[in-house]
């Protein structure tokens, strides 16, 4: 017995950490049990945190899809309106073989004259202006054309955006022998899609456009226009 006690004492000295007192073991168990709930609580918090992030992401994604869908609807609606307007404008553009756009304008004396007043007659509509150099160059030939074709074609010159006094003075100075109408707001020239002056539109007795001639038209050009009436 004495020898056994000596061996235990010797082992205790050689390995002081190998023998754990009961009190120390109990403390370790209690410490372990206290730590477990804390670890579980942290784990739950992490799950809740990531859950909130995922739900927020899904909500934002869903909102983005709805917003994008609404934006696409607005874009498609705008595109459709622009397309319709473009097609409508293209169809309204004066073309040979189709009815000439109707108009009613005043002359320098304030008389209202309409294209329909000349129904059953051939009409040459010329868009021009007093400041236009080509119009000035064309004027002598146009006056001769009016004189030669006075029984066949009525000439209506439509002045674009000039004052009545300017036109009245120009008529006297140049002894104009055809009717000049005032398109002071440019509405009729817009209806005829006039891009420059002079511009010519030959209209037959049925009110349809027979031929067009953009730009300077001298005697031979004006006569070529007149010949289009016999080619119908």
Does 36 score more than 70 pLDDT?
no
Average pLDDT rounded to a whole number, residues 191-203: 97
Nearest to 186 by CA among 162, 157, 216: 162
pLDDT of residue 66: 58
> What pTM, to 2 d.p., does this model score?
0.62
* 202 CB neighbour count, 10 Å cutoff: 24
> Which band of pLDDT confidence, cut at 50, 70 and 90, is reported for residue 35?
low
Mean pLDDT for 109-122 is: 96
Report helix, strand or coil for 79: helix
Mean pLDDT for the chain overall? 80
- Residue-wise pLDDT for 137-153, tens only, equals 999 999 999 999 999 99
Q: What percent of the chain has pLDDT over 70?
A: 64
Place of tokens 């030939």: 141
Q: Which of 206, 213, 210, 209 is nearest to 230 (CA)?
A: 210
Residues in Cβ contact with 228 at an 8 Å cutoff, skipping those fewer than 6 apart:
202, 210, 211
Weakest mean pLDDT among 44-48, 150-154, 169-173? 44-48
CATH T-level topology, domain 104-227: Glutaredoxin (3.40.30)
Q: In this predicted structure, what is the pLDDT of residue 230?
A: 83
32 — pLDDT class (breaks 50, 70, 90): low
Looking at the predicted structure, is the pLDDT value of residue 33 above 50?
yes
Structure-derived torsion over alpha carbons of residues 46, 49, 55, 56, reported in degrees to the nearest 10: -150
pLDDT of residue 79: 46
Angle (CA) 212 218 222, round 5° = 45
Q: What pLDDT does 18 receive?
A: 47
Q: Residue 231: pLDDT band by 50, 70, 90 thresholds? A: confident
| Residues 181-195: tens digit of each pLDDT | 999 999 999 999 999
More confident of the two residues 6 and 115: 115
- The domain limits of the chain are 1-92, 104-227
Angle at 74 between CA 62 and CA 79, to 5 degrees: 140
| Mean pLDDT of the 110-126 span | 97
């Amino acid at each position: 017995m004495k020898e056994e006690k000596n061996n235990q004492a010797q082992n205790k000295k050689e390995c002081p950490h190998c023998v754990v007192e009961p009190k120390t073991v109990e403390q370790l168990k209690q410490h372990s049990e206290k730590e477990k709930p804390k670890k579980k609580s942290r784990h739950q918090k992490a799950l809740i945190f990531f859950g909130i992030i995922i739900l927020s992401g899904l909500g934002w994604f869903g909102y983005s899809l709805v917003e994008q869908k609404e934006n696409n609807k607005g874009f498609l609606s705008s595109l459709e309106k622009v397309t319709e307007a473009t097609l409508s404008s293209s169809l309204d553009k004066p073309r040979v073989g189709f009815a000439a756009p109707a108009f009613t304008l005043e002359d320098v004396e304030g008389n209202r004259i309409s294209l329909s007043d000349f129904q059953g007659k051939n009409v040459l509509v010329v868009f021009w202006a007093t400041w236009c150099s080509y119009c000035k160059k064309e004027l002598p030939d146009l006056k001769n054309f009016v004189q030669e074709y006075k029984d066949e074609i009525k000439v209506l010159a439509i002045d674009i955006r000039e004052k009545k006094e300017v036109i009245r003075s120009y008529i006297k100075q140049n002894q104009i022998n055809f009717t000049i109408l005032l398109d002071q707001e440019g509405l009729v020239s817009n209806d005829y899609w006039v891009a420059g002056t002079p511009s010519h539109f030959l209209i037959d007795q049925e009110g349809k456009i027979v031929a067009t001639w953009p730009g300077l038209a001298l005697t031979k050009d004006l006569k070529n226009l007149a010949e289009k009436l016999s080619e119908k």
